[in-house]
A and B are shown apart, each in its own frame.
Chain A
Amino acid sequence: MIFKCTNCGGNAVYSPDKKMMVCPYCGGEDTYKRKDNENSSYGLSVCPECGGTIPVEEFDSAMHCPYCDNSVIFNERISNEYHPKFIIPFELSKDKTKDLIRDKFKKLTFAPSDFLSEVRLDSMKGVYVPFWFYDYKTNAVFEGEGTKVRHWTSGNYRYTETSYYHVVRDMNIPFEKLPADASIKMPDQVMDLMEPYDYSKLSEFMPEYLSGFNAERYNMPAEDIESRARSKMEDDAKAILRSSISGYSSLVTNSQSVRVLDRKTAYGLMPVWNYVYQYKGQDYPFYVNGETGKIIGTAPLSKGKVWGYTATLFVLLEIIAASINGILGLM
């Protein structure tokens, strides 16, 4: 499907700034209609607008036609079992994201000259990344032995009193929407660092949100990646148990368990801006949380600038130090 402007026939896209469908050609707001005549299959799709062949990959659910640049959404990859329960629409437009990247890296002296150039940053793409969300009702129990130590001095002796306690904590901890990305393309570690998303912006899924962006359906079922969410949940539950115990000089764990009483999963899409900077044959990917603006990625360093700037500073400081030293010697 594509969304067409009812005023001019252009491709209407979702505007993060205006929070509505906008036609970038005539400026029409919420003036659109859906056009469904796609014919897509694995690896191949025909653009409903120009009839061009779109090189669709296995998990793509929305992308731009390489010929007419219309934003095409593939129905069968957002329907039935692939219908997302919710979505966080892009809050940050491309221009705002560019500003965020410039702000973050403008002080990076040794980055290559064109690292923050308009042309390079313009290649940034907005992607809806598929996530599985896990709800767990858990029961976490800690049982161990804690000590409290007291010191005092009397006469010529220093006394140490150690008191031993049996420590028990039994808590019900409900975890809600623990995320794990369901995209092979997106590195797990990076997607984990993109967290947290602000769930107050969660919306019911509508295909309009995908117009103007790329998107994927989930690449694997919830069970395949649950170990990531479960491990996160268990670590958090143990940390909560520990944080409820205080006042002891030492604590020995006798037993600790986290039991899942109930579990639910849900599928949703999260917004990510992806900027890939290529430098000397190597890719430097940057990921920006399309809702909160959190940036993950490291810029390449230009060896020429590292040496040039450092040497300049050294030479200038050396001139200053040697001159001052010479002046002191003459005084």
Chain B
Amino acid sequence: MELENGYNHKVEERKRYFKSFGFWMVAAAICLIIFLVMKIAHKEEVVVKPERNNTVAPAQRVYDFADKLTDSEEEALEKLIAEQEDLCQCDLVLVIINKEMGVSDTEWTRNMVNYADDFYDQNAFGYDQPHGDGALLLDNWYHAGEADSQAGTWLSTSGKLEYNIGESEENRVWDALDSGFDISAKEAYARAIKKVAYYGIEEEGSGVSSLPWVVVLAIPAIIAGIYCAVNMKQAPGKDTTNSMTYVAGNQPQMNNQADQFLRKNTTKVKIETSSGSRSGGGGSYGHHTSSGGFSHGGGGHRR
């Protein structure tokens, strides 16, 4: 026993510990219980994925008009798309062309948008219904690698993907595509399709709102670090005097105060006006209605 005049430090320390963390212990217990109850309830739910509801659209998903893929590559991509469609419940279409689309960014964008949207609309793609959930990846190889290249990729989105995929998601699709091109065209398309499908899967409630685990670990670590630093910080004491503390009567006597003007000089500098900036090609195109009257989203990426 560490009793000193009836003062038991261990008991006091324990009280202090629970006083400091009592609230957080209760909060942690409540959160954990809610999570466990929901987890058990969720396990019991029978997840029924809706069947594809489109008999109008063709079964083909890979259209290689530019002849950039071998038969076996096309077959592999068809298989991959079928698997991804099952996961995200979206139609995923790949169209590869070698077609003049215009030199200027504006013209190129307009032609790519129209081609992609029209192809999707005319074939009535859509997983849940004709012209429904899905995306079309249009890749153009026209003069690729040359000075007057019109090569580039356009992603046309419809239905739920139109709303799930914004500019930042499009950029991730382009990152996936570019990293794949370092290996092969087939790999580039495979990676881009998987990335597009990923945004469809999340919308179905497979954890779209949950944070990455790195963040979940980092936030408590940062808060605990701040708590530790704040509680360790101590200052021995502050200087509470000032220059007038020891001045008798708090009033110095001014004998002479002079602020005499001597001279002045003036300089002038010409104000430079800035010139306008140039705009680049591609970028996100936002929501729009195609010539067929259907709503699409998407964006492009020249190379």
The answer to whether A and B interact is yes
Complex-state Cα separation, A153 to B269, whole angstroms: 9
Which residue from A118, A158, A172, A324 sits with its C-beta under 8 Å from B5? A118
Which residue from B227, B232, B245, B263 sits with its C-beta under 8 Å from A195? B245
Which residue from A163, A194, A313 sits with its C-beta under 8 Å from B261? A163
Contact: B20 with A109, CB < 8 Å? yes
Which residue from B42, B217, B240 sits with its C-beta under 8 Å from A294? B240
Contact: A327 with B35, CB < 8 Å? yes
Distance between A67 CB and nearest chain B CB, rounded to angstroms: 24
Interface string of B183-213 (1 = CB under 8 A from A): 0000000000000000000000111011101
Contact: B270 with A240, CB < 8 Å? no
Distance between A202 CB and nearest chain B CB, rounded to angstroms: 14
Contact: A240 with B240, CB < 8 Å? no
B residues near A314, Cβ cutoff 8 Å: 220-221, 223-224
Nearest chain B residue, comparing its CB with the CB of A145: B262
A residues near B32, Cβ cutoff 8 Å: 319, 323
Complex-state Cα separation, A156 to B34, whole angstroms: 67
Which residue from B10, B38, B264 sits with its C-beta under 8 Å from A113? B10
Complex-state Cα separation, A178 to B38, whole angstroms: 71
Interface string of B1-45 (1 = CB under 8 A from A): 010110101101100010011001101100110110011001000
Nearest chain B residue, comparing its CB with the CB of A301: B232
B275 at the interface (CB under 8 A from A): no
Given the contacts A193-B236, A193-B237, A330-B39, A166 and B21 also touching, CB distance less than 8 Å: no
Nearest chain A residue, comparing its CB with the CB of B31: A323
| Interface segment out of the listed B82-90, B151-159, B249-257, B290-298 | B249-257
A184 at the interface (CB under 8 A from B): no
Contact: A118 with B28, CB < 8 Å? no
Complex-state Cα separation, A311 to B20, whole angstroms: 13
Question: Which residues of chain A from 128 to 178 have any CB-CB distance to chain B below 8 Å in the complex?
Answer: 135, 139-140, 145-146, 153, 156-178
B268 at the interface (CB under 8 A from A): yes
A9 at the interface (CB under 8 A from B): no
Contact: B236 with A178, CB < 8 Å? no
B residues near A331, Cβ cutoff 8 Å: 205, 209
Contact: B224 with A317, CB < 8 Å? yes
B residues near A308, Cβ cutoff 8 Å: 17
Given the contacts A176-B246, A321-B219, A325-B216, A310 and B268 also touching, CB distance less than 8 Å: no
A residues near B223, Cβ cutoff 8 Å: 313-314, 317
Distance between B284 CB and nearest chain A CB, rounded to angstroms: 27
Complex-state Cα separation, A259 to B60, whole angstroms: 99
Nearest chain B residue, comparing its CB with the CB of A148: B264
Given the contacts A145-B262, A243-B243, A317 and B24 also touching, CB distance less than 8 Å: yes
Distance between B287 CB and nearest chain A CB, rounded to angstroms: 27
Nearest chain A residue, comparing its CB with the CB of B213: A325
Complex-state Cα separation, A113 to B253, whole angstroms: 54
Contact: A171 with B253, CB < 8 Å? yes
Contact: B244 with A240, CB < 8 Å? yes
Contact: B256 with A162, CB < 8 Å? no
A329 at the interface (CB under 8 A from B): yes
Interface centre among A236, A299, A308 (most CB of B within 10 A): A236
A residues near B239, Cβ cutoff 8 Å: 192-193, 195
Contact: A157 with B270, CB < 8 Å? yes
Interface string of A189-202 (1 = CB under 8 A from B): 01011111000000
Complex-state Cα separation, A118 to B64, whole angstroms: 87
Distance between B209 CB and nearest chain A CB, rounded to angstroms: 4
Complex-state Cα separation, A162 to B207, whole angstroms: 64
A50 at the interface (CB under 8 A from B): no
Contact: B270 with A156, CB < 8 Å? yes
B70 at the interface (CB under 8 A from A): no
Contact: B247 with A240, CB < 8 Å? yes
Contact: A240 with B252, CB < 8 Å? yes
B104 at the interface (CB under 8 A from A): no
Interface centre among A169, A240, A243, A330 (most CB of B within 10 A): A330
A110 at the interface (CB under 8 A from B): yes
A residues near B258, Cβ cutoff 8 Å: 166-168
Distance between B85 CB and nearest chain A CB, rounded to angstroms: 23
A296 at the interface (CB under 8 A from B): yes
Complex-state Cα separation, A157 to B264, whole angstroms: 19
B259 at the interface (CB under 8 A from A): yes
B241 at the interface (CB under 8 A from A): yes
Nearest 10 A/B pairs, CB to CB:
A317-B220, A323-B31, A329-B210, A239-B243, A296-B237, A329-B207, A170-B256, A314-B224, A113-B9, A323-B35
Chain A residues at the B interface, C-beta cutoff of 8 Å:
108-110, 113-114, 117-119, 135, 139-140, 145-146, 153, 156-178, 190, 192-196, 232-233, 235-237, 239-240, 243-244, 294-299, 301, 306, 308-314, 316-331
Can you list 8 A-B contacts (CB < 8 A)?
A110-B232, A117-B7, A164-B261, A166-B258, A175-B248, A298-B234, A322-B216, A330-B39
Q: Knowing that A146-B259, A233-B246 are A-B contacts, what are 7 other residue pairs whose CB atoms are under 8 Å apart, sorted by A's residue number?
A: A159-B266, A170-B254, A319-B28, A319-B32, A320-B27, A321-B220, A327-B31
